[in-house]
Amino acid sequence: MIIRQATIADIAAIRDLVYELAVYENEPDALTASLAHYQEQFEAGLYDVIVAEVNDEIVGMALYYLRFSTWKGKMMHLEDFYVKEAYRRSGTGKKIFDAFLEESKSQSCTMVIWQVLDWNQIAINFYDKYDAVYDKGWWNCKLYF
């Protein structure tokens, strides 16, 4: 297994993993961003991805980008974190997440932030191993254009 930064050649596989995640989260129709949009925004530097690769196949990923908190300063936002089912419970997720944390530290981030669905106990158990803090007092807000 190789843990590495994604390249433009990986973006189609990454988008496929995002679709698998959407299916897992019971939201398969929610993914509306096209592959071309993914590629364009990756090339523009809007986001980065750490991937796990086995035998030339991308089997897991952490998609992230920088944010700024007026209270805490520079932080990294983990948008999507997913490992194919066949590679779960093998340490793949830990290797990806640890690489994400190291990348965040190397960029002098004061913290990392992400979301987890309240029903996803497997993910919550994973994050508990890192002593994650769950901020249940804030609600997610959206406006669609």
Active site residues: 127
Strand 73-83 with 111-114, pairing:
parallel
Q: In whole angstroms, what is the distance from residue 74 CA to residue 63 CA?
A: 17
Strand segments, DSSP code E, in the chain are 2-5, 48-54, 57-69, 73-83, 111-114
User: Are the C-beta atoms of 60 and 96 separated by less than 8 Å?
Assistant: yes
The residues near 96 (Cβ < 8 Å, ≥ 6 apart) are: 3, 50, 51, 52, 60, 61, 62, 81, 83
